[in-house]
Amino acid sequence: MQISPSILSADFANLEAELKRISDADWAHVDVMDGHFVPNLTIGLPVVEALVKVSPIPLDAHLMIDDPDRWAPGYAEAGCRSVTFHIEAAADPRRLARELRAAGSRAAMALKPGTAFAPYEELLPDLDMVLVMTVEPGFGGQSFMEDQLGKVRQVHEAVVRHGGEIWVQVDGGVSAETIERCADAGADVFVAGSAVYGADDAASAIDELRRLADRHQHP
Ligand code: DX5
Ligand code: ZN
């Protein structure tokens, strides 16, 4: 069970210090938004390259951008240890996933709430993680979408059938109130933005999330 705090809810004027606050986490989740694929604009490759150099923990890049076939490999080459592209935006997802792995990163595909998993199950051999969005991508601090738990279960079952080490990540509205249900459904990597950076003590928020997830680990 792994925790990946999202720096979207961090202080963008002090990102190096904000990364240090979450050094007990497994990953630092970096939300890249282009103002086209989602109606919000955050940071891009030059900032991510700078973050790789100072982060005490590996970066988990979540690319909410158009044309990931063109842009995503650059994030792997920059040193992100996991790179997630949105399946809705990818032209040739199999080739892209292979390129990400060849560049030394884990390769992951993300599904928006309205996107079904079944048509993409055949991509599993080329993937290291599937991200099930539990809010509409674009903004932090939104309410968790309970109706996505069925998809988490479905992805988990497909991963078990397929074998190998493929992780199931949830992102959006994950907190001490919702993480247990995500873990029960089969998620094993948990992104949390406001639940970690909104807490007085980020380290203890991370500990608490991990404790709750561990208790509900899916068999
Ligand atoms: C939303 C982003 C999330 C966001 C989660 O598009 O992908 O990573 O930071 O924020 P919370 O945990 O506050 O819902
Ligand atoms: Zn994200």
What is the three-state SS of the chain?
CEEEEEHHHCCCCCHHHHHHHCCCCCCEEEEEEECCCCCCECCCHHHHHHHHHHCCCCEEEEEECCCHHHHHHHHHHCCCCEEEEECCCCCCHHHHHHHHHHCCCEEEEEECCCCCCHHHHHHHHHCCEEEEECCCCCCCCCCCCHHHHHHHHHHHHHHHHHCCCCEEEEECCCCCCCHHHHHHHCCCEEEECHHHHCCCCHHHHHHHHHHHHHHCCCC
Asked if 171 is an active-site residue, the reply is yes
Mean pLDDT of 7-23: 98
Ligand nearest to the backbone CA of 5 = 1
Has residue 88 been placed in a domain?
yes
pLDDT at 42: 98
Confidence of residue 219 (pLDDT cuts 50, 70, 90): low
Our count of domains for the chain comes to: 1
In a domain, 136, yes or no: yes
Q: Which of 42, 86, 191, 197 to mutate to test ligand 1, by most ligand atoms within 8 A of the CB atom?
A: 191
* Ligand that lies nearest to the alpha carbon of residue 172, given by its number in the listed order: 1
How far is residue 70's CA from residue 9's CA, in Å, rounded to a whole number?
A: 27
CATH assignment of the domain containing 40? 3.20.20.70
Residue 37 structural domain: 2-214
Average per-residue pLDDT for the chain: 98
- Residues near ligand 1 (Cβ within 6 A): 6, 8-9, 29, 31, 62, 135, 137-142, 171-174, 191-195
> Residue 113's closest CA among 78, 141, 147?
147
φ, ψ at 175 (rounded to 5°): -155, 180
Residue pLDDT, tens place only, 159-175: 999 998 999 999 999 99
Q: Say if CB 130 and CB 111 are below 8 A apart.
A: yes
Q: How confident is the model at residue 89 (pLDDT cuts 50, 70, 90)?
A: very high
Q: Is residue 219 part of a domain?
A: no
Among this protein's residues, is 31 annotated catalytic? yes
Atom of ligand 1 at shortest range from CA of 138 = 6
Q: Does residue 52 lie within any of the structural domains?
A: yes
Catalytic residue selected from 26, 171, 201, 207: 171
% of the chain surpassing 70 pLDDT? 99
Q: Which of 24, 31, 69, 126 is catalytic?
A: 31
Ligand 1 atom showing the smallest separation from residue 134 Cα: 14
Mean pLDDT in residue range 35-57: 98
66 is a domain residue:
yes
